[in-house]
Structure 1
């Protein structure tokens, strides 16, 4: 079933799309069908075998001259999957032994799909439930219900849940126990997730009002221990998304903010302490993936090593290790690549010579309109930090030395200006994985990455961000385990 909530998309890292139930019997599913008015030559079924792996197992089938197809795939027990045709997607619930006949219009898979055969009842139910609730804005948080205040929003959630439960009770006769548990979890955790994240999302969306102050009892529903540790719901993507948000909530409730150096360590420890069963390593793993992208590299490495103890079957560690290795070069705390380039004044400039200073690194070129638009803002920003412990280092990826030097000198551009040849293929551009200009990096006083996507020079928030960055590397270091 498609997610009824857009909260995760608005607030969080991209969530899970599909995950097979753990420890279930393996079996084969066969799909046959026909596409009317074909717009593509292939049909596919996409399954995510591992909830921490972004890669999906995709099984393709080519349409014949009549638009008919047949495909077979192996599933590890009852599994959420996606039926894919071109850019259109429909939800599937597959169980070993299913033999589904699928028919739909090539121009509108989601709305026209029809099922027959073994497994048809469950998939028809999901399709009808999506049409009734997901496609109806009246049952969605966005765009209108987010404007409600606390009493109205809770009434909306209660009404939606009541209607969903009624729909489930009237249409679930003869369904498998696994499918019933899946739908129950989707309803329960759609409610829980939307209620949990409502104050944060409303603050983002309703810009004309300050953050909504909720009543002291608003979060009391989280006291239900069965809501937190629910083995029967482990397959539900809503459940997993809720738990990640719940861990974030616990961390922020303890006084931590996402910008705090130890935020992800606190989240990791809370997930380790609060969660049980098969979902525990999944949520701990998702916190790790966040840390790999937004946390300190040494802190991430320590947590990753600790993770081995909660993953004795090595089901998730190899994927997490690969993800860590992918991101570690540009993670907070990783050393920024050194370089030596000739400045506009003709002297040699290296990154190392600015050790002990904050460095705002700007990759640009004289032929980039966006980069040129930022020049006045850069001058204003540099003026505000005159005499402070920061260097604004500008690396021009320009082939034409004369044009670059003339612009720097004639405009009296402030900061340190250096140039390299080769553009985006130059050694320094490759070292910093620069794919376009302008690209910005904020480097700490110890020469490590502090932020690989800082606010642009033209952003009003850049001033506050830089102010908060002075000495932040030492703050990160203070949160690391001893000896690290």
Structure 2
């Protein structure tokens, strides 16, 4: 369950995890679900649990739905846990504890809105469904789309009102007899951290959504709620995904408040150190690991390797390191600082060119082909961009993934296209296309002067922001190197 929307592309982290952190003291056990689907639309039902918060792989248990719409499944759980009941393309929240025996009924065309529970464990799962219906599914209780428009005082009033209504619903519904302490802690944490997370991310989110007004200046006391140490280190809240998201946003906030921006080479190292120094208990390695996963994707490969080595020493039970090690191996080939694959190709005029021949220069690589309308539309912008950086220490390298060599040559030579133009025989099946994991064109890469990746998704040639991005990239590889630990490059 979560009360904040996910916002793709904003850089904000708003409730994306699926279950609670594994705790050493949690009891092992089985949960059974027997159910009936009215109006069957799929042949199976599933329950998905993410046992390890740093592992994207879910433990999914499937059960067949027979011709009468009936199903039965048993799920192994390691303790009180968030889970997803999945049918067709629909999902409903579950809270599972060892020993639960649920009877589930729903309509095949609308699981989330029609699901009903009976049996042992029915009360907490019914509460989740009703909580979602009363709050999550009502726009008036969401930050987006309308409430983000409020200025500070109005937004705080909205958050206070929502929390008050959630508490009222909780107090009028939940008792100690039918709801375990673990579930009560979970719901209380969801309420508290939906408030805290939305308050923490409000200024950044509003700046992005309400672009016409610019960034709000907050009152001096707006962020004082973060001084509550119990809010930051709260082991009771471990089962809440919003608590973990709040902590990651908190680490980001502390880093930026200290003058470190996301574009700084040291940003993820700073975030990692904040998590390591300010968090404690089982939450600490989870948030350190989350920062590492960000670094694997957006940080320097050598810096990530150094932090991963440090994490291994901190993960005494080896609970998370294997997952992080695998994630690092998956992303390191295209991480910042990783060497770009070398190649030898032939230009339209017949000259042989290798990537290494451009050592010491920025290299903007444009993968394209003559049959791609989108790639062709970028050509005039490419010419303008090349003209802007004439005489600068940068090469614009255009790699055509064309099967038709004559057509490519005719276009390049006939139009006198600027920049360096080469063609990869075999097109999308060529060695270079595989080496750079090209799925479609156009695709762009910005390489540093030392031949390493600087940006695997730079601004497009047609983007006005491409000029500023390139200007800021000269010498940036050296800036990254200066932030690395002395042992990172060894």
The alignment's TM-score, normalised by the length of structure 2, stands at 0.97
Q: Residue 209 of structure 1 is aligned with which of 209, 213, 219? A: 213
Q: Residue 84 of structure 1 is aligned with which of 86, 89, 103? A: 86
Counterpart residue number, 1:374 = 378
Counterpart residue number, 1:41 = 43
In structure 1, C-alpha distance between the alignment counterparts of 2:79 and 2:410, rounded to whole Å? 67
Counterpart residue number, 2:311 = 307
Counterpart residue number, 2:20 = 19
In structure 2, C-alpha distance between the alignment counterparts of 1:453 and 1:83, rounded to whole Å? 36
Point out where structure 2 has 5 or more consecutive residues left out of the alignment.
none
Counterpart residue number, 1:51 = 53
* 1:208-262 superposed Cα distances (whole Å, 9 cap, x missing partner): 1111111110000000000000001011100000000000000000001101000
- Answering whether residue 347 of structure 2 is matched by residue 346 of structure 1, we say no
Counterpart residue number, 2:172 = 170
Q: Displacement of 1:20 after TM fit?
A: 5.0
Counterpart residue number, 1:6 = 5
* 1:69-93 superposed Cα distances (whole Å, 9 cap, x missing partner): 0000110000100000000000000
* 1:335-393 superposed Cα distances (whole Å, 9 cap, x missing partner): 00111111011110111111000000010000110100000000011111111100000
In structure 1, C-alpha distance between the alignment counterparts of 2:316 and 2:23, rounded to whole Å? 15
Q: Displacement of 1:7 after TM fit?
A: 5.4
1:394-413 to structure 2, matched below 5 A, reads 394-413=398-417
Q: Residue 459 of structure 1 is aligned with which of 463, 469, 475? A: 463
Task: Tell me the secondary structure at the aligned position of residue 4 of structure 2.
Answer: coil
CA contact (8 A) 1:264 1:295 kept: yes
In structure 2, C-alpha distance between the alignment counterparts of 1:86 and 1:19, rounded to whole Å? 24
CA contact (8 A) 2:42 2:87 kept: yes
CA contact (8 A) 1:7 1:194 kept: no
- Larger mean CA deviation between 3-12 and 448-457 belongs to 3-12
Q: Which structure 1 residue ranges, 4+ long, deviate > 2 Å from structure 2?
A: 7-15
Q: Displacement of 1:17 after TM fit?
A: 1.5
In structure 1, C-alpha distance between the alignment counterparts of 2:332 and 2:21, rounded to whole Å? 29
CA contact (8 A) 1:11 1:201 kept: no
Q: Displacement of 1:19 after TM fit?
A: 2.6
In structure 1, C-alpha distance between the alignment counterparts of 2:122 and 2:408, rounded to whole Å? 66
Task: Tell me the secondary structure at the aligned position of residue 35 of structure 2.
Answer: strand
Q: Displacement of 1:309 after TM fit?
A: 2.0
In structure 2, C-alpha distance between the alignment counterparts of 1:434 and 1:482, rounded to whole Å? 34
Point out where structure 1 has 5 or more consecutive residues left out of the alignment.
none
Calculate the aligned-residue CA RMSD, in Å: 1.0
* 1:117-154 superposed Cα distances (whole Å, 9 cap, x missing partner): 00000000111111000111110000000000000000
1:292-303 to structure 2, matched below 5 A, reads 292-303=296-307
Counterpart residue number, 1:132 = 134
Task: Tell me the secondary structure at the aligned position of residue 268 of structure 2.
Answer: helix
Q: 1:167 to 1:87 in 2, by over 3 A?
A: same
Q: Displacement of 1:112 after TM fit?
A: 0.3
Q: 1:7 to 1:197 in 2, by over 3 A?
A: farther
CA contact (8 A) 2:12 2:205 kept: no
In structure 2, C-alpha distance between the alignment counterparts of 1:8 and 1:80, rounded to whole Å? 22
CA contact (8 A) 1:60 1:71 kept: yes
Q: Residue 149 of structure 2 is aligned with which of 134, 141, 147? A: 147
In structure 2, C-alpha distance between the alignment counterparts of 1:139 and 1:414, rounded to whole Å? 54
Counterpart residue number, 1:429 = 433
* 1:423-479 superposed Cα distances (whole Å, 9 cap, x missing partner): 111000111111110000000000000000000000111011000000000000000
Counterpart residue number, 1:280 = 284
- Larger mean CA deviation between 20-29 and 270-279 belongs to 20-29
